[in-house]
């Protein structure tokens, strides 16, 4: 049996980071998929890496902060056949344990901001919409 790697779902991960005022931290994406949209920070799970380790690594790489994970918030199923995208992405609830978020990967992210749940931007990523539903 031959597996077509291009037709295999990818594994992503994300963090729903909340502060003491119940605001969530969102980042604005520069790259596809969903360039120009606001969403949870995160990225790809590397081979041999646990999802939890991947989330912590990605958040450190993207935002320069350490986080504490507080359980699974949602398992995102993102399928866009027109764009040849199929992702499974666990999103974990998290809080910042060390540092102040700043954009460490300006080629991937253009902005970051804290939002209350009743004042979210309109252009959210599909993963963010699914998780907050």
- The owner of tokens 């931290």 is 25
Share of the chain above pLDDT 70, in %: 95
| Complete DSSP assignment for the chain | ----GGGSPEEEEEEEEB-TTS-EEEEEE-SSSSTT-EE--EEEPPTT--HHHHHHHHHHHHHS-EEEEEEEEEEEEEEEGGGTEEEEEEEEEEEEEES----S-TTTEEEEEEE-TTS--S-B-HHHHHHH-
**CA-based torsion, 78, 35, 83, 124: positive or negative:** positive
Give residue 98's pLDDT.
Answer: 98
pTM of the predicted protein model: 0.91
Query: Would you say residue 35 has pLDDT above 60?
Result: yes
Assess if residue 118 is contained within a domain: no
Assess if residue 117 is contained within a domain: no
The total number of structural domains in the chain stands at 1
The pLDDT mean for the chain works out to 94
Give residue 33's pLDDT.
Answer: 81
* Tokens found for residue 98: 């060390």
Q: What is the CATH number of the domain that holds 66?
A: 3.90.79.10
Domain with 23, as residue range(s), is: 11-106
**CA-based torsion, 30, 39, 89, 16: positive or negative:** positive
Assess if residue 123 is contained within a domain: no
CA 4 to CA 100: how far, in whole Å? 41
């Amino acid at each position: 049996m031959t597996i077509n790697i291009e037709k295999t779902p990818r594994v992503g991960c994300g963090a729903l980071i909340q502060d003491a005022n119940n605001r969530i931290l969102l980042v604005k994406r520069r790259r596809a998929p969903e360039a120009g949209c606001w969403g949870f920070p995160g990225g790809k799970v590397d081979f041999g890496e646990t999802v939890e380790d991947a989330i912590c690594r990605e958040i450190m790489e993207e935002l320069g902060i350490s986080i504490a994970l507080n359980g699974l918030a949602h398992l995102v199923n993102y399928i866009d056949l027109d764009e040849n995208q199929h992702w499974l992405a666990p999103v974990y609830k998290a809080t910042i344990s060390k540092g102040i978020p700043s954009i460490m990967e300006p080629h991937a992210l253009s902005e970051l901001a804290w939002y209350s749940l009743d004042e979210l931007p309109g252009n959210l990523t599909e993963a963010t919409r699914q998780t907050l539903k």
